[in-house]
Structure 1
Amino acid sequence: MTHLPQFSIALLHPRHWFTWAGIGLLWLLVQLPYPVIYRLGCGLGRLAMRFMTRRARIARRNLELCFPHMSEQEREALVVKNFESVGMGLMETGMAWFWSDKRMNRWMEVTGTGMEPVHSLQAQNTGVLLIGIHFLTLEIGARMFGMQAPGIGVYRPNDNPVIDWLQTRGRMRSNKSMIDRKDLKGMIRALKSGEVIWYAPDHDYGPGASVFVPFFAVDDAATTSGTWTLARLSSAAIVPFVPRRKANGKGYELMMLNPECSPPLDDAKTTAAWMNDIVEKCILLAPEQYMWLHRRFKTRPEGVPSRY
């Protein structure tokens, strides 16, 4: 596990000055009033769409595959909203890392089942596999949840040491520690000891530990078998949540969904298909805020051509 990182003088090397300048600008921007941040973030996202043409094509293709009955005009409108969410995602990263608890509380509310089911599980020393999903509100969602029930975040260390230091420090403002997504044994130990582990089973992580099950209209989406492994070996409860940005700059909802204390664990495919069904329901609560820019269907069964 990773605990609060210590600052190193090596992070001030000239090769990192450009990164520090960007961080400084982000810090300044998130000091602005939230309605201004909202307008800037959405505008930045629309501007980014002009340059991120490859990602825009991937988003369009993902939506075409997942929602074949949606009209082209509807999909294009959703892509534009999605890029607005990309711009806001950058702003929300700064908000998650730099805002005070007081300011966070002003702009958020807990909805759905509320935090009582999670607190009850914690009181029983039952591990919680928190299904976070790759929304573009990911960073601020982790901060909001951690303010209510601190847990352990699963992450991939960043190749840039300054970003890695800052994101770890930022994420641990309201959480206990971080754990590398490859450390399966560490996750199981934490869950068995009654911890909350943030976990995202919705991306395509390659063929190594995946099974092919339906996801929206795609019959054979490569889906991690990690949910089955973690739930089976830890007996943890599975708790989905959706950090949803309200429309028109009105703040955020931390939408807590019902805990699943007895997930189907017959085999990896059964659990993965069940998990995808939950992921779909979560995405449909805020489809414009989901990370459609990721090549979700890049891994294909052997001999089957690419969907991209």
Structure 2
Amino acid sequence: MAADEPAGNVNANPVLDQRPADFLAPRFWPTWLLIGLLKLISRLSIRNIQFFGRMLGKGAYHLLRARRSITRTNIRLCFPERSALEQERLVRASFEANATGFLEAAAVWFNDLERFRPISRAYGLENLENAIAEGKGVLLLGGHFATIDLAGALYNLFANADVMQRDHNNPLFNYYMTRGRSRYCQRILNRGGLRGALRSLKEGRVVWYATDQDYGRQNSTFAPFFGVPAATITTTSKIAARTGCRVLQFSHFRNIGGYYEVHFSKPLTNYPSGDETADATATNKLLEREILRFPEQYLWMHRRFKTRPDPAEPSPYKVVKKKKRRPRTAVANT
């Protein structure tokens, strides 16, 4: 199989029925340029991909003013004990780590996954294997770490999983993203519906589900995240209650040596407990523990605290407006 060709997907995704020729309109030309650039970069060595990722992150820090403001707010709220200088260093490091993750995603979308085996390590794999052996299905609680796409490929080196996905707004980029992920995911499940996830778990399969973003007040409860009340979805404990599956924390990082590692926790005990807020608090606490391994590799650019317990409470995020250029005044020739 060629590196660019997707493997057969057990659960056919309609996105994969599309063809590149469906995206020839001029509005897609900038995306085609991006895809071509990502393909070129993906052919580089891992060290060079990481280098260009850091350079991209340095540029993004200066250019993406709104995301920089969100990141500063999140880090200030979650790490109030750190000095202003330490917080700003973490902001910069987070941009570099996440930009590197974006290029690493391209590396697994367009390459043979075996190139990553010599530089990957799995910890707690026995926890996953024991949970699978029980035959009740396994729900992996993920987080939006910088290596989120790369982790899917690394996971496939050790086991197989179905993945909950939220489609990208750009249909061409979404096509290549889904196509790339289908090479290492058994099934790609639409995040909007849980029927596929429930079916997979009842079949004894493994489902990877990132639950750490703010999806609004509906189906959420407020639980502390680094001490700040955060809207946390209750779907996780509901899935566990309906299927009887085992629930494990799954995390993944780029370590100091530039290598990659994935971690599987032991199954959560007393979960679900019957108390949705207590369950959300427990999963947030697990996520905090994993974030603290490499805090710069978490996706701090997301407005994690946009929904507040009191609807009248103002958002902690400042609105960053683009500076308006002053109109040039005509100067009469004398």
The separation in 1 between residues aligned to 2:206 and 2:269, in whole angstroms, is: 14
The separation in 2 between residues aligned to 1:15 and 1:68, in whole angstroms, is: 44
Q: Which amino acid aligns with 2:302?
A: H
Alignment pair present for 1:307 and 2:316: yes
Residue 257 of structure 1: CA displacement? 2.0
Hey, what does 2:284 align to over in structure 1? Answer: 276
Kindly report which structure 2 residues correspond to 1:190-269, keeping only aligned pairs within 5 A, or say none: 190-218=200-228, 220-248=229-257, 250-260=258-268, 262-269=270-277
**Helix, strand or coil for the counterpart of 1:240?**
strand
Alignment pair present for 1:11 and 2:19: no
State the percentage of identical aligned residues.
36
Q: Which amino acid aligns with 1:30?
A: S
1:50 to 55, 62, 71: 62
Hey, what does 1:59 align to over in structure 2? Answer: 71
Residue 293 of structure 1: CA displacement? 0.6
Runs of 4+ in 1 over 4 A off after TM superposition: none
Residues 154 and 262 of structure 2 are in contact (CA less than 8 Å); yes or no, is this contact kept in structure 1? yes
Q: Which amino acid aligns with 1:223?
A: T
Residue 2 of structure 1: CA displacement? 4.9
Residue 197 of structure 1: CA displacement? 0.9
**Helix, strand or coil for the counterpart of 1:183?**
coil
2:153 to 127, 136, 143: 143
The separation in 1 between residues aligned to 2:78 and 2:87, in whole angstroms, is: 11
Residue 255 of structure 1: CA displacement? 2.0
Residues 236 and 261 of structure 1 are in contact (CA less than 8 Å); yes or no, is this contact kept in structure 2? no
Would you say how many aligned residue pairs link Structure 1 and Structure 2?
304
**Helix, strand or coil for the counterpart of 2:251?**
strand
Q: Which amino acid aligns with 2:234?
A: S
The separation in 1 between residues aligned to 2:141 and 2:24, in whole angstroms, is: 36
The separation in 2 between residues aligned to 1:267 and 1:18, in whole angstroms, is: 48
* Cα-Cα RMSD: 1.7
The separation in 2 between residues aligned to 1:139 and 1:167, in whole angstroms, is: 9
Hey, what does 1:33 align to over in structure 2? Answer: 45
The separation in 2 between residues aligned to 1:60 and 1:134, in whole angstroms, is: 17
Residue 289 of structure 1: CA displacement? 0.2
124 and 41 in structure 1: CA distance in 2 versus 1, 3 angstrom threshold: same
TM-score, normalization by structure 2:
0.86
The separation in 1 between residues aligned to 2:175 and 2:102, in whole angstroms, is: 17
The separation in 2 between residues aligned to 1:194 and 1:202, in whole angstroms, is: 24
Residues 237 and 262 of structure 1 are in contact (CA less than 8 Å); yes or no, is this contact kept in structure 2? no
The separation in 2 between residues aligned to 1:262 and 1:146, in whole angstroms, is: 29
Residues 265 and 271 of structure 1 are in contact (CA less than 8 Å); yes or no, is this contact kept in structure 2? yes
Residues 223 and 232 of structure 2 are in contact (CA less than 8 Å); yes or no, is this contact kept in structure 1? yes
Unpaired runs of 5+ in structure 2?
1-9, 318-334
Q: Deviations over 1:78-107 (max 9, x none)?
A: 111101112202111101212212201122
The separation in 2 between residues aligned to 1:261 and 1:150, in whole angstroms, is: 24
Residues 128 and 264 of structure 2 are in contact (CA less than 8 Å); yes or no, is this contact kept in structure 1? no
Q: Which amino acid aligns with 2:217?
A: P
Q: Which amino acid aligns with 1:102?
A: E
Residues 7 and 165 of structure 1 are in contact (CA less than 8 Å); yes or no, is this contact kept in structure 2? yes
1:187 to 190, 193, 197: 197
158 and 100 in structure 1: CA distance in 2 versus 1, 3 angstrom threshold: same
Q: Deviations over 1:112-142 (max 9, x none)?
A: x1x2222232233221111110111110011
Residue 148 of structure 1: CA displacement? 1.6
Residues 127 and 265 of structure 2 are in contact (CA less than 8 Å); yes or no, is this contact kept in structure 1? no
